[in-house]
Amino acid sequence: MTHSRALPWPPAPIATERLILRASEARDRAAVIELNSSPEVGTYLGGPRPRAELDRTVPEVPGRRPGFFVVERDGSAIGTIQLDPQDRERPKHRLEAGETELGYLFLPATWGRGYAGEACAAALDWFARALPAEPVVLYTQTANIRSMRLAARLGFTEVERFEAYGAEQWFGVLAPVRSRGSRLTGRAAPSS
Ligand SMILES: CC(C)(COP(=O)(O)OP(=O)(O)OC[C@H]1O[C@@H](n2cnc3c(N)ncnc32)[C@H](O)[C@@H]1OP(=O)(O)O)[C@@H](O)C(=O)NCCC(=O)NCCS
């Protein structure tokens, strides 16, 4: 699957108040393996993947594709954000062509400090400038309270709930951006 138009990639690193978002590099491999093998991160994502399998299969530079951001805090990778073309094999698919799906994974030690919100807001602002008309959607389990709260703070609104993979799923779409100010910090985004 591809985006409706090409994303400008890799982007110049995006600096927020506390974080940097950038394309992935070889030095992020350990953090990507940590994220995907963490039982806490995997709780609502079908469970963690075995570390030995990840050690074998994660490429030297992980996540090397348009829309895959590594989020860095003080020089260390703390999470990833994905803006991927929506998977049409999903059990529910209600919008028309050209949707992009937001995903986010952050290391548990960094939860509860607003980093995911700050980083996702910056990624969404970047995406809105790159592909202005393209809708952004989000799936999450309703039991994933942290993710549900984050989705609401970012401006996603519910389209529907449905049962899949043995759990209630939430499907939301991002409300149109009214201004180009940053979503959570209220800081004005630089004009381009
Ligand atoms: C979903 C996930 C990214 C949410 O992480 P998070 O840290 O709770 O999210 P936020 O960045 O929005 O942080 C909000 C919390 O930080 C607190 N916070 C502290 N300082 C803050 C600040 N300066 N600014 C904003 N919030 C701040 C908020 O009060 C809030 O706390 P609360 O959870 O007690 O209400 C994280 O739980 C995760 O990686 N989960 C595993 C992956 C996953 O399930 N992904 C979903 C499917 S895509």
pLDDT computed for residue 2 by the predictor: 60
Within-domain flag for 105? yes
Residue nearest to atom 7 of ligand 1 (CA): 111
Within-domain flag for 2? no
Enter the tokens of residue 161.
């709930």
d(CA 84, CA 112): 25
Which residues are CB-contacts of 152 (< 8 A; sequence separation ≥ 6)? none
Query: Which of 60-64, 86-90, 159-163 is least confident?
Result: 86-90
Q: Count how many domains the chain has.
A: 1
Integer-rounded Cα Rg, in Å, for the chain is 16
Within-domain flag for 92? yes
Within-domain flag for 112? yes
Computed from CA positions of residues 46, 40, 87, 167, in that sequence, does the dihedral angle turn out positive or negative?
positive
Q: Quick one: which of 3, 11, 2 has its CA closest to 135?
A: 3
Query: What's the pTM value of the predicted model, to 2 decimals?
Result: 0.91
Within-domain flag for 4? no
SS (H, E, C) 38-81: CHHHHCCCCCCCCHHHHHHHCCCCCCCCCCEEEEEECCEEEEEE
Within-domain flag for 73? yes
d(CA 186, CA 132): 20
What is the residue range of 100's domain? Answer: 14-174
- Which of 86, 101, 146 has most ligand 1 atoms within 8 Å of CB, for mutation? 146
Does the beta carbon of 145 sit less than 6 angstroms from any atom of ligand 1?
A: no
The CATH number covering residue 81 comes to 3.40.630.30
Cα 108 to ligand 1 centroid, rounded to whole Å: 9
Within-domain flag for 9? no
Per the listing, tokens 């927020």 go with 16
Within-domain flag for 190? no
Maximum separation of any 2 CA atoms in the chain, in Å: 46
pLDDT computed for residue 99 by the predictor: 83
Q: What percent of the chain has pLDDT over 90?
A: 76
